[in-house]
Amino acid sequence: MADRSGFWTTPPEALAGEGIVVRLLPPVPQIMVSGDLDGFAAAHGLPPPLGLLAATAGPRYALRLARNRMLAVGIGLDPAAGGWVDGAALTPMTGALAVIGITGENAMALVARATAIDPRRPSASAALMFAGATAALCRHDGGLRLHLDRGLVPWLMSWCAATDLFRAPGN
């Protein structure tokens, strides 16, 4: 078989510009939960699921993605344990979704370039289109966290690098 590895570039672990850092975080345990969200949250000590740009802190939180679907963050699940459990369908997402940390005073400037949302208007769902990719976004420990398909990380980092936030002055 032909070696095609030369066609794919390895994404940078982080990008830094004036007042902004975009960093791929180490794998964060995540579970997609569909069904009885309140029951799952209560059983696992999670706060109610958060909407778009809602603030959270610490390693465990939940993001609402749809009426009966959320992403539980900070809780691991053995792939064999997935399926229908106590009124909720559980799908391990740690390997499927990457988490990108966006920090710095210009973090919201990147959001403004990537999406048409109005950050002043709350939404019950944390899901959005970010630079053309489906993702979930929240405020976390003074920065932002973007949860998106792990396979899109090289593309997203390339997209970010192409914005004026990461170009050297005069270029």
Range of the domain at 88: 16-166
What CATH number is given to the structural domain containing 115?
3.30.1360.120
Q: Is 127 among the domain residues? A: yes
Residue 26 in domain? yes
- Residue 4 pLDDT: 75
pLDDT at 111: 97
DSSP of the chain, one letter per residue? ----GGGSPPPPSEEEETTEEEEEPSP--EEEEEE-HHHHHHHTTPPPPB-TT-EE-SS-EEEEEETTEEEEES----GGG-EEETTEEEEE-TTTEEEEEEESTTHHHHHHHH----TTS--S--EEEETTEEEEEEEETTEEEEEEEGGGHHHHHHHHHHSGGGSPTT-
Is 106 a member of any domain? yes
Q: What was the pLDDT predicted at 164?
A: 94
Number of domains the chain is built from: 1
At 120-151, the pLDDT tens digits run 898 999 999 999 999 999 999 999 999 999 99
Residue 3 lies in a domain: no
**pLDDT of the residue at 124:** 95
| 48 inside domain | yes
Would you say residue 61 lies in a domain? yes
Check residue 143 and give its pLDDT.
Answer: 97
Model pLDDT, residue 80: 86
Task: Note whether residue 1 is domain-resident.
Answer: no
Residue numbers of the chain with a pLDDT score lower than 70: 168-171
Residue 2 lies in a domain: no
